[in-house]
Amino acid sequence: MRIFIAGASGAIGSHLVFQLVARGHEVIGTTRSAAKTGALRALGAEPVIVDALDPDSVADVVARAEPEVIVHQLTALSGPADFRHVKRMAAATNRLRTEGTDHLLAAARAVGVAKFVAQSNSGWMERTGGPVADENGRIEPNPPADAAAAVAALRHLEEAVTGISWADGIVLRYGGFYGPGTGIEAAPDAVMAGLIRKRRFPIVGGGGGVWSLVHITDAASATVAAIERGKPGIYHVGDDEPAPVRDWLPELARALGAKPPRRVPAWLVRLLAGRTPVDMMTRARGISSEKIKRELDWAPRYPTWRTGFTEGMR
């Protein structure tokens, strides 16, 4: 198939390009940076530079590409992890999930795209109903005020994509990424790994929030399955062992050669950083990926973070 990947130079994009090209697909990949076009071309994609927040630019590149499938992997989640930069990244990502989604959908409809696959995440599943949610679970309706914009952007994306009638609209709710290119990896300049090594990524409160994790290559292979065989709707993409933060974070620190994470009271984190990190660390729910395994015959190479952390970080 001829596949247009918006956000092809991002964390999952390069892995996805590699896997799709290896399976014989023709890939057009977007980036915001001319400096990244060479890397995309080396992976076998046709690179294009586009501003996803410019509807005319999006319409033009999609019309010229004439794809059968559009894959929306646009985020602005990269760079340093200081507080001001994180706020800018979050705001930019919210726009990509709202305005950017709308621009891509309009362009897709104009050229008769048959399938539209979009990135969501599982971090804001509704905070009631047990430690693990399936695809019938909804996004948290009452998030902390400092997360309201991000949650609203996720909801907009999911409703816009699953609501289309002129093509197969598929949303992938990914677990937390780790592995090459994600920032949680063995590379010495990896941002999140650096925080963990410096003991600046603590366990908050009791650390009872349940997270689902997924190795980045497994996230990419699940996306390939959705592109090739997916039906309209939502699929969860995580490994087989959702676990509380207090269980997996010390193992991740050990795999990175770091000291055990510090433990910080929830009230102190709430005072210094707001309610969102406390909520994520203490109330988050994991996801079940049984649907995508059953319906699309997908299986993760790293079925648990325990082996992923030791074998899949390089």
* Residue 84: pLDDT over 70: no
Q: What sign has the CA pseudo-torsion 175, 224, 92, 199? A: positive
What average pLDDT does the chain have?
95
Q: What is the pLDDT of residues 13-32, one digit of tens each?
A: 999 999 999 999 999 999 98
Helix axes 275-282, 266-273, angle to 10 degrees: 140
- pLDDT above 70 covers a percentage of the chain that reads 97
Mean pLDDT of 268-279: 96
Mean pLDDT of 105-123: 98
- pLDDT above 90 covers a percentage of the chain that reads 91
Q: What pLDDT does residue 85 have?
A: 66
Q: Is the pTM of this model over 0.85?
A: yes
Q: What pLDDT does residue 25 have?
A: 98
What are the distances in angstroms from CA 197 to CA 48, 83, 107, 277?
Answer: 37, 18, 44, 19
